[in-house]
Amino acid sequence: MRLRQTVSRHAVSRDSYARINPITAPIPADRQGAKRHYGVHPYFTRRPYNVVRDYILRYSRERDVVLDPFGGSGVTAIEAFLENRIGIQNDINPLANFLAASIAGLEKGRLEEYKQSLDFVQARSGELLGKAQTATGRRLAELQSKTMLPPDIPLPRSSDARSFHQLFSARQLLSLSILKSAIDEIPWDAGRAAMLLAWSASLAKLNKTFLSAEGRAESRGGSSIFSIYRYKVAKRPIELSPWKTFEERALNVIAAKAEIDKQIEVKRKTGGWFGKFDCRAKDVQELAEELNCAVDYIFTDPPYGAHISYLDLSTLWNNWLDMTPSVRTRERELIVGGELNLSEGSYVARLGESIQACMRMLRPNRWLSVVFQHWNVSYFEAILGAAADSGGELRAAVSQVGDPIWSMHKKKSNESVLAGELILTFLNSGKKSRVNRLNGFDVGDAVQAVLSNVESDNVHGEYLFNRIVVEAWHHGAIGSLDISRTEFIDLIQRNGWQYDERQHVWTRCKKSGALFPLTG
């Protein structure tokens, strides 16, 4: 596709981009405010759409090319597209691109067709689903033999189930297959694509990794894939109604369609609608060859080390939807560990190379925002160093902390788990800077200095940690910054702060200012 549309209408000088005032304050996250992202289909580490949108609006203009090379569920490209930009989604995970393209595709077709498509699936599958619900033993096996099932491939070693089919009861496998066959027969293209998205979303609940949320309706809850990032089989698996589960998801998808229609209608009435969506499936470094110097803004969120093995965990969907990635693709995944046991050394090197690739894709004087979080400072060093080496000037570092939704890990381990992220924003000014990795840096002094400037009595540990990383960077000393989470916690305590486990913040003790002795 042609990337740049008629440029004359928004001829802006190169410098006007460079003069953009960077975003320097955190933006309160609205995780559930957009039906197109929340409730349509789960994915890992989905960024809050309002934060992403505000960044896009600040750093790019209408008709600009906005890219997310580690696009995940597509929040960046979808929001860019809805804001009259050319949103480019890229990810090596077929599930990610399936989600992003399916959600963006909800602009197609009429709402009425979507409703008719749901009725069509009910009419086509109702009788067979009923039989599947009551059949047992041989009758169930007989029904199953008439349906198309995905191959029974091995699962990652960390899974409770050895192979794919073991993730489902016989009834779940059969019901999912009945629903999918009915969807394949829907005569309306847009409606069919939307129902497949809803079916894929219901997969997350119709398997043995579904864990019901305590004290809530049985159907509330989610898959262990998204909470503890492995295929943990529930001790007492709950079998939800396949039809009700699918119908609920389909109604969410239809609501997302109505929301997107409304948004586009507003644009049409106020200046015109010309958003475009494009999807690529490349490793970031290969993508840079295609999009060399063609992008106006990049907002991206690369994988955080060994945190999540995206491809392993997406097997549930990629196998059902017949989009299993090749071994070569798996080797290019930017993670530590996983089934291929990818090394940390190669992760750090490739993280830096990926940032350099982002810089190559940017036009001069355009902006790059990278979302990241990890205790390992060398990961930050890889990002900051690579950007500086390729002409990216760090113009803003914003700690997006205080998100009210805490991860399971955070709830359990409190202060040693980092929640929230740092958004690093660079201007592609072309001025390469050499990084001096020999400077000394006293972490203790830096923590004390940051804490003494905190105006309120509460502070997020993540904010402190991010500040220290950025301070060390500005002092040219990030290479010598080596701090463990226990040392960091001790330093904060010694400055007279204590951790509030309910609010997940550090609070100032009465004797503030004095240096407290190390405990233990």
Binding site for ligand SAM (CB under 6 A): 43, 45-47, 69-70, 72-73, 75, 91-93, 96, 283-284, 301-303, 310, 332-334
Q: Residue 432 is encoded by which pair of tokens? A: 């390469």
CA–CA dist 102, 124 (Å, integer): 23
Taking the least distance from each CB to ligand SAM, the nearer of 38 and 499 is 38
Q: Residue 473 is encoded by which pair of tokens? A: 């960077």
Q: Residue 308 Cβ, how far from ligand SAM at the closest point, in Å?
A: 7
Q: Residue 91 Cβ, how far from ligand SAM at the closest point, in Å?
A: 5
**Sequence-separated (6 or more) residues with CB below 8 Å from residue 342:** 331, 333, 335, 336
Q: Residue 151 Cβ, how far from ligand SAM at the closest point, in Å?
A: 22
Q: Give the number of other CB atoms < 10 A from CB of residue 264.
A: 16
Q: Give the number of other CB atoms < 10 A from CB of residue 217.
A: 8
SS3 content of the chain, % helix, strand, coil (to 5): 45, 15, 40
Taking the least distance from each CB to ligand SAM, the nearer of 84 and 93 is 93
Q: Residue 519 Cβ, how far from ligand SAM at the closest point, in Å?
A: 35
Q: Residue 300 Cβ, how far from ligand SAM at the closest point, in Å?
A: 7
For residue 111, how far is the Cα from the chain centroid? Answer: 28
**Sequence-separated (6 or more) residues with CB below 8 Å from residue 214:** none
CA–CA dist 271, 273 (Å, integer): 7
The runs of H, that is alpha helices, within 390-452 are 408-413, 443-452
Taking the least distance from each CB to ligand SAM, the nearer of 17 and 55 is 55
Taking the least distance from each CB to ligand SAM, the nearer of 117 and 309 is 309
Q: Residue 307 Cβ, how far from ligand SAM at the closest point, in Å?
A: 8
Q: Residue 299 Cβ, how far from ligand SAM at the closest point, in Å?
A: 9
Whole-Å CA distances, 154 to 165, 166, 315: 9, 10, 10
Taking the least distance from each CB to ligand SAM, the nearer of 55 and 114 is 55
Taking the least distance from each CB to ligand SAM, the nearer of 69 and 391 is 69
Taking the least distance from each CB to ligand SAM, the nearer of 47 and 180 is 47
Q: Residue 350 Cβ, how far from ligand SAM at the closest point, in Å?
A: 7
**Sequence-separated (6 or more) residues with CB below 8 Å from residue 157:** 339
Q: Residue 110 Cβ, how far from ligand SAM at the closest point, in Å?
A: 28
Taking the least distance from each CB to ligand SAM, the nearer of 51 and 174 is 51
Taking the least distance from each CB to ligand SAM, the nearer of 301 and 462 is 301
* Angle, alpha carbons 69-73-77 (nearest 5°): 55
Which residues are bridge partners to 367 per DSSP? 297, 427
Taking the least distance from each CB to ligand SAM, the nearer of 91 and 296 is 91
CA–CA dist 210, 225 (Å, integer): 9
**Sequence-separated (6 or more) residues with CB below 8 Å from residue 409:** 417
Q: Residue 288 Cβ, how far from ligand SAM at the closest point, in Å?
A: 11
**Sequence-separated (6 or more) residues with CB below 8 Å from residue 442:** none
- On whether the CB atoms of residues 20 and 59 are closer than 8 A, the answer is yes
Q: Residue 207 Cβ, how far from ligand SAM at the closest point, in Å?
A: 20
Q: Residue 298 is encoded by which pair of tokens? A: 């990049």
Taking the least distance from each CB to ligand SAM, the nearer of 46 and 460 is 46
Residue of closest CB approach to ligand SAM: 72
Which is it for strands 65-68 and 86-90: parallel, antiparallel or unpaired?
parallel
**Sequence-separated (6 or more) residues with CB below 8 Å from residue 138:** none
Q: Residue 339 is encoded by which pair of tokens? A: 């089934």
Taking the least distance from each CB to ligand SAM, the nearer of 354 and 428 is 354
Q: Residue 492 Cβ, how far from ligand SAM at the closest point, in Å?
A: 27
Strands (E), 260-416: 276-280, 295-300, 362-372, 392-400
State in Å, rounded, how far the first CA of the chain is from the last one: 63
Q: Residue 47 Cβ, how far from ligand SAM at the closest point, in Å?
A: 4
Closest CA to 208 of 235, 226, 229, 228: 235
Whole-Å CA distances, 298 to 371, 374, 381, 392, 489: 11, 21, 20, 12, 34
Taking the least distance from each CB to ligand SAM, the nearer of 94 and 242 is 94
- Kindly state the DSSP code that residue 365 receives in the 8-state scheme: E
Which residues are bridge partners to 398 per DSSP? 423
